[in-house]
Structure 1
Amino acid sequence: MSNFAAAWETEWLLCRRSTIVRLATALLLLVIPAGSVGAVALARADVAATITTAKFTPYASGPLAETHVLVAAQILSVALLMAGGFAMAWTFGQEIATGLAGARTGMTTSRSSVALAKVLVHLTWLAGCVAGVVGLTVAASALVCAVTGQVFDDGVWNRAGLALVVGLLSAGLTIPFGWVATLTRSPLGTIGALIGVVVVTQLVTALGGGPWFPYAAPSLWAEMGGVEAAADIGLPQLLLTAAVLPAGAAATVYAWRRLDDV
């Protein structure tokens, strides 16, 4: 337990000092709430028909606050995967590529503890970002409703719950990239795999297999593919998506422990 506590303290310090983590945090907390409110405002503006595409049509009607938070959930499902994937490439891949992982061989803290601490610190950071994004979006929406005189109805809290779950599921989907980084021993290789997953997700969704593909399910559940596509996402699909986190964590810890053997 003391080994894990030491690993947690070290990894949390590295996370806080990481330029990638700081930049990703700032972008998530600033861009998503502002982008959500801005997208809805643009969709409902008088000039929307001439400067936007059909993508904005779903945002042009419905309760204002609920729509703000729904758009945030949709953006969060993609942005969190990208931000978290880049961070996993750094926290695992960079340490191996620079030889720092090899220097840990003689330390009293086991590599398993280090890997587990990395995963849990990463999840804690992303969960905090999810909560922050949803909270800031709700606050911004309440301000807009107050300024424009529109109703801030209770339905927004259901949307906020949806956004939180979508964000947490997306955070879990980033964990297997720690395993990829360990196998490839390269941050760039991990980023390449991340981009590949995004491309495959688009193809699988276009072919109709999105509901059963974990990397597509959160976005579809947030109505990115429309209300009908969201209706295809139920408990089995969500459980399958959630299972990626423990499977990815176990694979990452195992691969990290066997670094000497590969």
Structure 2
Amino acid sequence: MNFLYSTLLAESLKIRKSKMIWITTAAFSIAPLIGGFFMFVLKNPELAISSGLIGAKAQIIGEASWPAYLSLLAQMIAVGGILIFGFVTSWVFGREYADRTIKDLLALPYPRAIIVIAKFITILITNLLLSFLVITIGIVLGLIIGLPQWSSAIVMHGLYVLIITTFLTIALSTPVAFFASYGRGYLAPLGFVVLMVVFSQIIAAAGYGDYFPWAIPALFSGVTGEVIALKGSSLSILIISSLIGFVGTVYWWLFADQT
């Protein structure tokens, strides 16, 4: 436990001292701002047209309400989170190779598996905090705009979808860690993340999104227009993919040639 605690402190310090986390936070914070802007336009179309925010001939589709807004935030976390969470994971693992600190790290008298676990815990906490920030900003903006249909039942259901979507998306970060370790840097994991986002769009459009891990969070969040119940087979596929990424990363750090 002392090894894990010390490694966690070191990894959290790396996160706090890096410019990456502030850039990532700023980038992810744009999501609720865009969502709030959409809701404002939907709620006040005449004002948006008269002020020049949108053109007079623009068609506005959707409704301004808390159910729609919370669903939109969940979709932003499901889609944007794959990129943002993947970027955080790429940095946490890839920077050791890019900065040439991997040899120093592995020379420490700590079990290698403990180092990997500490990195994953740091990633989990960081991504949860980023999601919490997005949700908090989103709710504050919704209250400022004055969206209708507020009720405890609607908010609790919306938060349930947001939380489950967040955990499903974060779970898909483990394969990114493997590619960051295998590729010894940033390019391989970032390329993998972009590729998975593209594939998820294509496979979901073909009707097989339930069987592709990176499309499952978006489908559950309601990207198709309604929240789809999470199937046991879909959850199993996602969990297995996450476990493969975790075990593969640990295995790589334990047995791969680190020269």
TM-score range, shorter chain: 0.7 to 0.9
Give 2:63's aligned residue: 60
1:50 to 37, 53, 57: 57
Native 8 Å contact 1:104 1:111 kept in 2:
no
Gaps in structure 1 of 5+ consecutive residues: none
Give 1:34's aligned residue: 33
1: CA distance, partners of 2:11 / 2:217 = 28
Give 1:191's aligned residue: 190
Equivalent residue pairs, number: 250
Instruction: Give the secondary-structure state (helix, strand or coil) at the position aligned to 2:245.
Output: helix
Query: Quick check: which one's helix share is greater?
Result: 1
Deviates more, 1:236-245 or 1:112-121: 236-245
How far has the Cα of 1:138 moved from its partner?
2.0
Which amino acid is 1:82 matched to?
L
How far has the Cα of 1:128 moved from its partner?
1.6
Give 1:200's aligned residue: 199
Deviates more, 1:164-173 or 1:91-100: 91-100
2: CA distance, partners of 1:151 / 1:204 = 34
Native 8 Å contact 1:6 1:109 kept in 2:
no
Which amino acid is 2:4 matched to?
F
How far has the Cα of 1:196 moved from its partner?
1.1
Give 1:211's aligned residue: 210
How far has the Cα of 1:184 moved from its partner?
1.0
Gaps in structure 2 of 5+ consecutive residues: none
After superposition, the C-alpha distances for 1:86-124 in whole angstroms (9 at most, x for unaligned) are 122221122123321112232112222111111110011
Instruction: Give the secondary-structure state (helix, strand or coil) at the position aligned to 1:226.
Output: coil
Which amino acid is 2:126 matched to?
W
1: CA distance, partners of 2:149 / 2:75 = 22
Q: CA RMSD in A?
A: 2.2
TM-aligned CA distance change 1:130 to 1:243, over 3 Å:
farther
TM-aligned CA distance change 1:40 to 1:224, over 3 Å:
same
Q: Could you list the runs of 4 or more consecutive aligned residues of structure 1 that deviate by over 6 angstroms after TM superposition? A: none
Instruction: Give the secondary-structure state (helix, strand or coil) at the position aligned to 1:215.
Output: helix
How far has the Cα of 1:67 moved from its partner?
1.5
Give 1:119's aligned residue: 120
Native 8 Å contact 1:65 1:142 kept in 2:
no
2: CA distance, partners of 1:144 / 1:186 = 43
After superposition, the C-alpha distances for 1:164-204 in whole angstroms (9 at most, x for unaligned) are 11012111112210100111112112211111111111221
How far has the Cα of 1:209 moved from its partner?
0.8
Give 1:244's aligned residue: 241
2: CA distance, partners of 1:3 / 1:232 = 41
After superposition, the C-alpha distances for 1:21-70 in whole angstroms (9 at most, x for unaligned) are 22112332x31222212122234424578335xxx63x326xx1222111
2: CA distance, partners of 1:134 / 1:261 = 40
1: CA distance, partners of 2:175 / 2:143 = 37
Which amino acid is 1:152 matched to?
W
Which amino acid is 1:222 matched to?
S
Instruction: Give the secondary-structure state (helix, strand or coil) at the position aligned to 2:103.
Output: helix
TM-aligned CA distance change 1:238 to 1:184, over 3 Å:
same
TM-aligned CA distance change 1:217 to 1:226, over 3 Å:
same
Task: Give me the identity figure in percent.
Answer: 20
- Are 2:154 and 1:153 equivalent residues in the alignment? no
Which amino acid is 1:244 matched to?
S
1: CA distance, partners of 2:212 / 2:106 = 38
Instruction: Tell me the TM-score normalized by structure 1.
Output: 0.86
Give 1:258's aligned residue: 255
Instruction: Give the secondary-structure state (helix, strand or coil) at the position aligned to 1:260.
Output: coil
Native 8 Å contact 2:70 2:162 kept in 1:
yes
After superposition, the C-alpha distances for 1:191-230 in whole angstroms (9 at most, x for unaligned) are 1111111111122112211012110011111111222xx4
Give 1:14's aligned residue: 14
Give 1:77's aligned residue: 78
How far has the Cα of 1:261 moved from its partner?
6.2
